[in-house]
């Protein structure tokens, strides 16, 4: 168990930037549970022209913050550029509206008969003014933001590559198309900057956090640097699309960790774990409401927000000693049981199997309906039907 936050620890972090101090002050003044040093935001070790190297539990990493890119600086930096959003799914919506609200010159390119065209019009993009076909937008844009679905990036590339001409920048929000080039055949010309900014969350969250004055965390990477400014540009775009802070990665690390994470703890793993626990409770005669509350509702409404605020130890300390004892004893069991699955999953990402499957599925003409069928089947599971009723009982929903 780590020690509670000591005066020395508090003194140390008080030399960090204002943001950190404010957070630590609020932690320090909170009565219970006591917060350990491990919950502190990493301390600034070095600061070079806005880029900071932070100490992440012993490993130094570079981080870029929004404070380094005030709006006037962003607007000046991009005054001669036209952002062309190619695709208007969740990321197109979030990144596009944030760019527009930041006063930058942005246009949208989507296919005219598609759902995205309708959604873009609903968001106020005007045909002929800032809403075009993919080809028109790719012609007019100087920063081509390839936010088509990963499968569509593959199928449209033979045609789209004609528009990636010298002087333009090719931008992605995923390393997928570039890294798995053997399957996607996306090979950019050598005379353009190729960069990515990958927000670590849904495009919807990119938008809501921006509107709340907050910002999502994102990673940036450079695949090709022709101008010598590719990294700087990636960071600036990252801030312009709504990131609060940004860390550096490579295209390969980004796509490996992203595909792995969403299949694991972020989405696939969480549904699998919830379902297994719920089903065992039901098989032992627990009522649906009890099984749901002890599996999902308490997690989502009470305990996970505590982890988000101050870490796992903070959540443990906020729970009873009985709960803490059992959780401490059983966590290693779950870790051991899950680790081989995670190893297998990582291999499946690394050897391209996950990409093959995503491309096959995403290239179907009926991809939207096919995905909906499977997610609707989750909604139809008893656990989530119960969840619907339980959520309706939350006083703030009434
Ligand atoms: N969503 C996330 O949480 C997230 C987070 C970080 C990064 N990313 C990355 O961001 C990029 C965009 O993802 P997304 O989730 O915003 O979008 P998405 O839902 O995967 O893709 C939607 C867009 O692709 C278009 N599209 C699909 N098939 C097409 C085809 N054959 N021809 C032309 N357009 C086609 C759709 O247009 P129609 O409506 O016309 O079909 C729509 O505009 C991806 O690289 C993704 O990996 C996503």
The answer to whether 12 and 283 are in contact (CB under 8 A) is no
- When divided into structural domains, the chain yields a total of 2
386-395 pLDDT, tens digit per residue, is: 999 999 999 8
Inside any domain, residue 354: yes
The catalytic position among 93, 159, 174, 286 is 174
Whether 199 lines ligand 1, by a CB cut-off of 6 Å, is yes
Q: In which band, very low, low, confident or very high, does the pLDDT at 357 lie, cut at 50, 70 and 90?
A: very high
252-285 pLDDT, tens digit per residue, is: 999 999 999 999 999 999 999 999 999 999 999 9
| Residue 65 known to bind ligand | no
**pTM attached to this predicted model:** 0.86
276 plus 352 within the same structural domain? yes
Q: Is 166 helix (H, G, I), strand (E, B) or coil?
A: coil
Mean pLDDT score, 9-13: 29
Single out the residue in 226, 249, 272 at which a domain terminates.
249
Considering the chain, what is the average pLDDT of its residues? 89
Strand partners, 88: none
| Residue 301 known to bind ligand | no
Residue 24 has pLDDT above 80, yes or no: no
The answer to whether 62 and 231 are in contact (CB under 8 A) is no
By alpha-carbon position, which residue is closest to atom 1 of ligand 1? 202
Q: In which band, very low, low, confident or very high, does the pLDDT at 75 lie, cut at 50, 70 and 90?
A: very high
228 CA distance to ligand 1 middle (Å)? 29
Say whether the peptide bond before residue 234 is cis (omega within 30 degrees of 0): no
The CB density around residue 278, as the number of other CB atoms within 10 Å, is: 23
212-232 pLDDT, tens digit per residue, is: 999 999 999 999 999 999 999
Q: In which band, very low, low, confident or very high, does the pLDDT at 34 lie, cut at 50, 70 and 90?
A: very low
pLDDT value of position 397: 82
291 plus 242 within the same structural domain? no
pLDDT value of position 50: 54
194 plus 308 within the same structural domain? no
Q: DSSP class of residue 148?
A: S
Q: Is 40 helix (H, G, I), strand (E, B) or coil?
A: coil
Catalytic, 174? Answer yes
328-344 pLDDT, tens digit per residue, is: 999 999 999 999 999 99
92 CA distance to ligand 1 middle (Å)? 8
150 CA distance to ligand 1 middle (Å)? 6
241 plus 268 within the same structural domain? no
User: Is the pLDDT higher at 325 or at 42?
Assistant: 325
Sign of CA dihedral 397, 393, 319, 264: negative
Whether 174 lines ligand 1, by a CB cut-off of 6 Å, is yes
| Residue 294 known to bind ligand | yes
> What backbone torsions phi and psi does residue 74 show, to the nearest 5 degrees?
-60, -45
- Euclidean distance between CA atoms 141 and 131, whole angstroms: 12
Whether 286 lines ligand 1, by a CB cut-off of 6 Å, is no
Single out the residue in 214, 249, 284 at which a domain terminates.
249
Half-sphere exposure of 289 (CA within 13 A, CB side): 5
191-203 pLDDT, tens digit per residue, is: 999 999 999 999 9
Inter-helix orientation angle 353-362/251-263, to 10°: 80
Inside any domain, residue 15: no
- Euclidean distance between CA atoms 34 and 32, whole angstroms: 5
104-120 pLDDT, tens digit per residue, is: 999 999 999 899 999 99
Residue 383 has pLDDT above 50, yes or no: yes
What distances in angstroms separate CA 326 from CA 268, 329, 330, 375, one per listed residue?
25, 5, 6, 33
Angle (CA) 65-234-102 rounded to 5° is: 70
Q: Which H/E stretch holds residue 188?
A: none
Mean pLDDT score, 76-97: 98
Mean pLDDT score, 131-149: 98
Mean pLDDT score, 79-100: 98
206 plus 355 within the same structural domain? no
Residue 23 has pLDDT above 60, yes or no: no
pLDDT value of position 41: 39
307 plus 335 within the same structural domain? yes
């Amino acid at each position: 168990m780590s020690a509670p936050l000591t005066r020395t620890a508090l003194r140390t972090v008080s030399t960090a930037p204002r943001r950190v101090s404010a957070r630590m002050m609020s932690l320090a003044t909170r009565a219970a549970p006591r917060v350990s040093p491990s919950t502190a935001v990493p301390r600034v070790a070095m600061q070079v022209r806005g880029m900071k190297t932070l100490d992440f539990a012993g490993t130094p990493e570079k981080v870029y913050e929004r404070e380094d890119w005030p709006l006037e600086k962003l607007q000046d930096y991009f005054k001669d550029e036209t952002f062309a959003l190619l695709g208007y799914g969740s990321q197109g919506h979030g990144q596009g509206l944030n760019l527009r609200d930041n006063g930058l010159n942005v246009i949208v390119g989507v296919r005219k008969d598609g759902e995205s065209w309708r959604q873009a019009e609903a968001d106020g993009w005007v045909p002929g003014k800032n809403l075009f076909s993919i080809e028109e937008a790719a012609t007019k844009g100087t920063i081509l933001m390839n936010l088509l679905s990963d499968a569509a990036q593959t199928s449209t590339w033979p045609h789209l590559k004609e528009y990636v001409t010298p002087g333009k920048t090719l931008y992605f929000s995923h390393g997928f198309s570039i890294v798995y080039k053997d399957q996607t055949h996306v090979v950019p010309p050598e005379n353009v900057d190729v960069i990515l900014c990958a927000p670590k969350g849904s495009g919807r969250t990119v938008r809501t956090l921006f509107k709340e004055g907050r910002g999502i965390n994102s990673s940036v990477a450079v695949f090709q640097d022709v101008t010598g400014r590719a990294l700087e540009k990636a960071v600036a775009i990252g801030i312009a699309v709504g990131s609060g802070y940004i860390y550096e990665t490579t295209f390969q690390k980004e796509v490996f960790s992203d595909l792995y994470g969403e299949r694991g703890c972020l989405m696939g793993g969480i549904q699998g774990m919830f379902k297994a626990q719920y089903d065992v409770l039901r098989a032992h005669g627990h009522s649906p409401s009890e099984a749901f509350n002890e599996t999902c509702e308490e997690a989502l409404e009470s305990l996970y927000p505590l982890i988000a605020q101050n870490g796992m130890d903070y959540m443990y300390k906020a729970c009873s000693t009985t709960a803490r004892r059992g959780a401490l004893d059983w966590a290693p069991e779950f870790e051991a049981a899950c680790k081989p699955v995670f190893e297998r999953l990582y291999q499946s990402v690394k050897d391209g199997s996950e990409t093959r499957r995503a491309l096959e599925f995403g290239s179907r003409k009926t991809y939207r309906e096919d995905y909906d069928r499977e997610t609707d089947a989750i909604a139809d599971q008893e656990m989530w039907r119960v969840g619907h009723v339980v959520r309706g009982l939350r006083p703030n929903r009434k």
